[in-house]
């Protein structure tokens, strides 16, 4: 297979040499190193690289963002920024060039590889075809399950059997503090509990924030959106293990397990940007998730989310039951006017809040939506069900490499929560 040719544009010699070593380690071909914007444009014209790794601060009068604009216009070469610049002005300018990635120096070499691999189309036709077939099979399975769920009520014995399991497991549920018991109690009555990173004080929070600061520039500069929602690729996200360790923290699992009442399955992390002024489709309509009888999602806002910022919006449990009964609801998306006929808008709850706020919710038992937005929303979401969900829609799997890297840091219960890939 033809090697991937990469041009390095860096004004610091040591940084450029480090990049060369990292790229050769992963069998990429370096076609040149230049230290100026003018030099980058000339070298792209000469070598026609598959990808450019671009710094922003360069020698001469042309910075990396201006050079990237000219390269994208003339040659359509994908660009990944590898830079120490993370200020909002630089990010806004870089976003206009529609980069394939944004990496803050100093970087993790595996993070660099994951970003490069995600930026380029798969060059192996066999692997590419296999992935397409795999995606179509998953989509078909998902649709079949949705149709089945919409047209057939699950047998009542399933709920009874599940309750028997809950009763048997009751004595094994972890003890909670008064504060955490209040969270579970509020979820039981309301379906949503709102707090913040500073108030909840979970272990790994400082390290979680540090990892999110590293990944936020990539999320912010994503411009090649095919949908109103776009996220960090799993291949890159799972390298930042502190994010997973926060979601698998023992105290958080204690809270979730007490609410669900059964051993847990962790459904991974969704780190994403919800785009403003996008069409009102799918999850921006009112709906219930169908994964399980009970489910928990923990949503952390990464920016200030006001009324116009696409906040999480929900209808309390008591009113949700009324909607389910009135519509004979089984699954699917319900437009706003239909909901308003049953439950007036003044009863809807809007979770507008500052960056760092946390929404803990059971999306299977409260009607909810991402409110249509005029501003982008950035968030990270952690998902949990029982290990015997009604319908498993999660695609979260740890690869053997990820499993090997992560699990030595975990307890047996944390490991039992994970999906292991094949």
Query: What is the CB neighbour count within 10 angstroms for residue 153?
Result: 8
Interior/surface letters 340-371, b for 16+ CB within 10 angstroms, e for the rest: eebbeeeebbebbbeebbbbbbbbbbbbbbbb
Q: How confident is the model at residue 210 (pLDDT cuts 50, 70, 90)?
A: very high
Q: How confident is the model at residue 295 (pLDDT cuts 50, 70, 90)?
A: very high
Q: What is the pLDDT of residues 224-267, one digit of tens each?
A: 555 667 778 776 777 788 999 999 999 999 999 999 999 999 99
* Token pair of 390 as six digits: 């009604």
pLDDT of residue 124: 47
DSSP structural state of residue 293: S
Report d(CA 276, CA 100) in Å as an integer: 20
Interior/surface letters 92-129, b for 16+ CB within 10 angstroms, e for the rest: ebbbebbbbbbbbbebeebbbbbbbebbeeeeeeeeee
Q: What is the pLDDT of residues 5-38, one digit of tens each?
A: 999 999 999 999 999 999 999 999 999 999 999 9
* Token pair of 198 as six digits: 């500073």
Q: What is the mean pLDDT of the chain?
A: 87
Query: Is the confidence at residue 223, as pLDDT, over 70?
Result: no
Three-state DSSP class for 43?
Answer: helix
Cis status, amide bond into 106, omega within 30 of 0: yes
Query: What is the CB neighbour count within 10 angstroms for residue 245?
Result: 18
Whether the CA torsion 144, 146, 147, 152 is positive or negative: it is positive
Query: What is the CB neighbour count within 10 angstroms for residue 36?
Result: 19
Query: Is the confidence at residue 51, as pLDDT, over 60?
Result: yes
What predicted TM-score, i.e. pTM, was given to this entire model? 0.86
When pLDDT is averaged across residues 276-301 and rounded to a whole number, the result is 90
Query: In order of start, what are the domains of the chain with their CATH numbers?
Result: 5-119 (3.40.50.2300), 177-416 (2.60.120.620)
Contact residues for 53 (Cβ-Cβ < 8 A; gap 6+): 6, 7, 8, 9, 10, 19, 80, 82
pLDDT of residue 236: 74
* Least-confidence region, from 185-199, 353-367, 405-419: 405-419
């Amino acid at each position: 297979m033809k090697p991937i040719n990469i041009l390095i544009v860096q004004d610091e010699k040591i940084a450029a040499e480090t990049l060369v070593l990292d790229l050769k380690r992963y069998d990429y071909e370096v076609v040149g190193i230049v230290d100026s914007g003018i030099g980058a444009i000339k070298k792209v014209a000469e070598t026609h690289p598959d990808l450019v790794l671009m710094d922003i601060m360069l020698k001469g009068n042309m910075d990396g963002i201006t050079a990237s604009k000219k390269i994208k216009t003339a040659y359509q070469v994908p660009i990944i920024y590898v830079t120490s610049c993370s200020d909002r002005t630089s990010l806004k300018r870089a976003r206009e060039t529609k980069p394939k990635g944004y990496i803050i120096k100093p970087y993790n070499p595996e993070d660099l590889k994951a970003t490069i691999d995600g930026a380029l189309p798969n060059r192996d036709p066999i692997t590419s075809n296999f992935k397409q077939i795999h995606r179509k099979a998953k989509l078909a399975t998902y649709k079949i399950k949705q149709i089945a769920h919409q047209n057939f009520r699950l047998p009542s014995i399933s709920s009874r059997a599940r309750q028997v399991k809950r009763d048997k497991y009751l004595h094994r549920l972890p003890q909670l503090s008064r504060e955490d018991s209040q969270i579970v109690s509020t979820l039981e009555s309301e379906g949503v509990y709102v707090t913040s990173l500073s108030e909840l004080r979970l272990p790994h929070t400082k390290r979680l924030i540090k990892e999110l600061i590293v990944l936020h520039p990539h999320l912010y500069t994503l411009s090649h959106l095919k949908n109103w929602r776009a996220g960090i690729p799993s291949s890159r996200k799972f390298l930042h293990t502190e994010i997973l360790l926060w979601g698998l923290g023992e105290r958080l699992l204690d809270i979730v397990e007490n609410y669900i009442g059964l051993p847990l399955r962790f459904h991974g992390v969704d780190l994403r940007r919800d785009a403003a002024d996008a069409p009102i489709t799918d999850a921006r309509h009112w709906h219930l998730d169908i994964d399980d009888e009970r489910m928990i999602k923990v949503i952390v806002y990464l920016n200030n989310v006001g009324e116009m910022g696409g906040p999480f919006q929900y209808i309390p449990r008591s009113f949700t039951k009324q909607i389910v009964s009135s519509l004979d609801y089984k699954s699917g998306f319900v437009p706003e006017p239909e909901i308003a006929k049953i439950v007036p808008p003044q009863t809807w709850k809007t979770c507008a809040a500052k960056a760092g706020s946390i929404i803990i919710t059971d999306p299977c038992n409260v009607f909810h939506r991402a409110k249509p937005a005029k501003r982008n929303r950035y968030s990270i979401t952690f998902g949990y069900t029982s290990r015997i969900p009604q319908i498993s829609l999660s695609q979260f799997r740890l690869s053997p490499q990820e499993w090997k890297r992560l699990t030595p840091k975990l307890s047996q219960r944390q490991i039992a929560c994970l999906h292991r890939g094949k």
